[in-house]
Structure formats: structure tokens, C-alpha cells
């Protein structure tokens, strides 16, 4: 750019962009997280607590929800625990209502709860298939709808659905056809709701984590052969942690992501790049 005499700089007027940036401010946001009694859900709850949010911890096992909530409360975070089976629409509606009673509204809803029953498809019981689909896919839809009712009425809100890398590709380190199918469904459910609700101010995005070091992975991660297979696929040669996923969730929930919807962010150490 031509600036006139040597050493002179063009005059630059002060813009909005020069002001302090608050795009990542989640202070006092009301956040609901399902499956937050342990593992990834608990890690997400702790991350949102550090960002100043008020947290509703939901879990099928009430004692786990209470443990997470008390840990947050002890660190100064406003948090409540709610026992909830995400397959039950009435229980999910009650979860929503308790969050609103405690914190006035719901700004962010994270559908994290899910299950897996790995094994060959040829021997998977139909009851097991139904249980996985009911939890991972139907349960996510029930959560989206419960949150959507409030957010659509307000004209704003962020829903984040936790899928998996195995919603994009089949798993080659273990067999889990029902889980993979359910997580693929979550991905397209996310895109569909984003299109339906975007014009009304509600953003719906997803995160597809790779393998994470959580309680549910303890046995597998103790198997060197299993770990070696995973490392072969991953660009970043380590297993992920809930903290790795938390940054993506905080971003998608924040005002900084106001023009982002219908996206599935892979947090996978490069798994899907292979």
C-alpha cells in the first residue's frame, strides 16, 4: 500500500474491532450438560465453570451428578445436579424446567450422554441395538427438542451434540455397528436442526471426538495392541482428554461462533485426516 513519504503511516480511525473483544465471554450463561457425572461430560462441566457459566449437571446416575455438582460448587460455581434418563421425554422436560427454575433460562445445551455395547453385528441382540439407538440418537433428539422449545421462544441459544469420529467412518479398532450408526445419525440430525432453527436464532453444532482417556476407556487403553492400532491412525500421537474437547465446546457455545451452525468439529488428533 502506498503511504506517501517514507516512514509515514496512514491514519487509522478507531473501529469496533479495536475495542476489547468479548466473543468468548460465557459469564453467567446457563449451561445444561447431559451425561456429566463423569468422563467427557464432567470435563466439559469443569471447563464451562472456569468460563463463569452456571451449570446444570444431568446424569442417569444421580450420585455421579451430585459428585460433579458438589465439586463445582466447592470451587465457587453455581451448579445443580439432576437425575435424568435422556430416553424419557418427560424426564428431559423436567431437567429443562429445573435448569430454568435455578438459573432463569438456558443459553447452552450439550447433548453428551451416550452408551456403547461393542461387539460383532452378527451377534448383537436387537434389544442392545434398540438401547443404543434410543440413548444416543433418540435421546439426543429429545434433548434438542426440549432445549429448542425454550431457545426458539427466546430467539437465541446454542445446542452442541456430541457425536464421534465413528459417526463419519467405520471403526477398525473394534466392532460397534450400532454405536457408529447412532453417531452418524447425530451428525445429520445436527445439520437438519441447524437448517430448521437457524433463522430463529438457534445454532446447532456438533463435536466428533476421537479416542479419549476417560473411565470408560480404561480397559482398552491398558491393552498395548489396541493403543498401537490407534496411534497408527492418529497424526498427533497421543490419546485425547476431555480438556482437548472442552475448548471446542466453549468456542461453539460462545458469541465468537455466532455465525457458525450445522458444523461438526472433529477433535480427534487427526484421525479423520488419514
Catalogue the active-site residues. 179
Asked whether the beta carbons of 122 and 105 are under 8 A apart, the reply is: no
The three-state secondary structure class of 160 is: strand
Distance CA 69, CA 205 (A): 25
- Distances 19 to 15, 22, 242, 259 between C-alpha atoms, Å: 7, 9, 32, 20
Neighbours of 114 (CB within 10 A): 24
Residues facing residue 211 across a β-bridge? none
Give the neighbor-by-neighbor strand order of the sheet with 157-162: 79-83, 54-59, 30-34, 108-111, 157-162, 202-209, 264-267
Amino acid at each position: 500500500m502506498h503511504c506517501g513519504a517514507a516512514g509515514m503511516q496512514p491514519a487509522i480511525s478507531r473501529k469496533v474491532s479495536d475495542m476489547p473483544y468479548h466473543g468468548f465471554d460465557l459469564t453467567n450463561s446457563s449451561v445444561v450438560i447431559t451425561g456429566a457425572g463423569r468422563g467427557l461430560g464432567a470435563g466439559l462441566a469443569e471447563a464451562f465453570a472456569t468460563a463463569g457459566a452456571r451449570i446444570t449437571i444431568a446424569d442417569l446416575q444421580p450420585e455421579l451428578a451430585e459428585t460433579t455438582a458438589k465439586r463445582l460448587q466447592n470451587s465457587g460455581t453455581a451448579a445443580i445436579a439432576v437425575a435424568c434418563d435422556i430416553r424419557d421425554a418427560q424426564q428431559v422436560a423436567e431437567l429443562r424446567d429445573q435448569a430454568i427454575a435455578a438459573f432463569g433460562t438456558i443459553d447452552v445445551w450439550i447433548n453428551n450422554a451416550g452408551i456403547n455395547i461393542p461387539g460383532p453385528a452378527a451377534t448383537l441382540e436387537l434389544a442392545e441395538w434398540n438401547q443404543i439407538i434410543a440413548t444416543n440418537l433418540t435421546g439426543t433428539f429429545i434433548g434438542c427438542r426440549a432445549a429448542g422449545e425454550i431457545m426458539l421462544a427466546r430467539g437465541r441459544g446454542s445446542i452442541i451434540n456430541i457425536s464421534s469420529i465413528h459417526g463419519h467412518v467405520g471403526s477398525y479398532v473394534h466392532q460397534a455397528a450400532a454405536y457408529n450408526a447412532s453417531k452418524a445419525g447425530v451428525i445429520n440430525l445436527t445439520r437438519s436442526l441447524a437448517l430448521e432453527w437457524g433463522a430463529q436464532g438457534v445454532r446447532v453444532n456438533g463435536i466428533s471426538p476421537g479416542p479419549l482417556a476417560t473411565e470408560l476407556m480404561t480397559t482398552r487403553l491398558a491393552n498395548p495392541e489396541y493403543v498401537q492400532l490407534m496411534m497408527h491412525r492418529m497424526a498427533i500421537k497421543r490419546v485425547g482428554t476431555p480438556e482437548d474437547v472442552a475448548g471446542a465446546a466453549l468456542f461453539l457455545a460462545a458469541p465468537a461462533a455466532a455465525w457458525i451452525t450445522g458444523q461438526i468439529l472433529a477433535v480427534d488428533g487427526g484421525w479423520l485426516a488419514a
